[in-house]
Amino acid sequence: MARLERLALTDFRNYARLAWRPEAAVNVITGENGTGKTNLLEALSLLVPGRGLRGARGAEMARYGAPLWGVAARFVAPDGVPSDLSTGSDPARPERRAFRRDGETVRGRGALADSLSAVWLTPQMDRLFQDGLPGRRRFLDRLVVALEPGHARELAAHDQSVTQRNRLLAGGRADPAWLAALEDSMARHAVAATAARLVLTDRLNDEGALGAPEGFPSARLELLCPIAEQLRARPALAVEDWLRGRLAAGRAADAARGGAGMGAHRADMALSDRASGRPAAQASTGQQKALLLGVVLAHAALMTRHRGEAPVILLDEPLVHLDERRREALFRSLEGAEGTVLMTGTDADLFYPLRGRAAFCTLSDGVLRPMGGNPPADAGSMDPKPV
């Protein structure tokens, strides 16, 4: 499986320059809050489809006072063939991002999907079941996009049609033919997006695919969506016709509420403990964290089987809310990792069971220092220029 050989940053977040060569497949990065641990994980997450683990815009990523920023990484396959991926400010239009693969400019982040995949868990996800449904839907869609990058295009096309239809309805005198065309687009893309979500949840719910790592609860995912209910019972084309009819009949109500009441943007996700049936929303904070970690690790295993290559696993503060038994279960699940794993934390001692099986680094003042006396990571000759 491809491994991260080096990561280089220029004027990214709090880093003026950084070049780092991981010493192992599993890497533990510790340091005080605010030192930039999450920024390192975010840099790698920007090399796969989507807007990274923070969902930030390109303009937010440049170091304060810097006009341009860049992230570059090299991955090496088992046969020794390297793959260079990079993203950063487009010099011609700094507010936009540019992407390169092996030195060649590519169109859009989706073009990098064949070269790299990644899954992640962040502390913000700890509130997934207390906050509103948009966060849960984004979590689910990230899982889908990792397996099917085209899902992002379906969502974007759907949301564009929704926005245009909302604008027409708000005007009060929209051309019915124009509305019908937009509703046709909404129906097609909503059904395609929902079908992809169903495939993902079915795969993860399969007893073989969702074999939770030892020590983690086995979880069950459920897609809460009337379109999904229709797709369970009817062909996709029939569901498109049904949704077009619902949208046309609901124009007045949608105009009054200021948005479409039906569509892919109304879906929600539910997660529960398979053994007890208890919904994650009613579980303890530690149980919720264990359920989410189990899903992320099962998803990584599913991606490895589906793509034939292990994804990069990015775990930001994964030990928060986990007791000792669950921490040890997480460490066991990462033994023999085939791809690159990055974990962060503030207390290196909590990761002690991984000594000898993982590389440890400490981060302070924008410098990443291996724990063990080796020279610190610096810019060297790997300074990535904004692309």
Binding residues for ATP: 31-38
**Six token digits for residue 315:** 């775990």
Q: CA-CA-CA-CA torsion for 116, 118, 144, 36, nearest 10 degrees? A: -130
Cα separation, 71 vs 9, in Å, equals: 5
Cα separation, 110 vs 93, in Å, equals: 19
Cα separation, 312 vs 169, in Å, equals: 44
**Six token digits for residue 236:** 């996709």
Cα separation, 238 vs 243, in Å, equals: 9
List, as residue ranges, the binding site.
Answer: 31-38
**Six token digits for residue 212:** 């939770």
Closest CA to 162 of 49, 257, 33: 257
Cα separation, 140 vs 150, in Å, equals: 15
Q: Are 157 and 185 in contact (CB under 8 A)?
A: yes
Cα separation, 34 vs 152, in Å, equals: 31
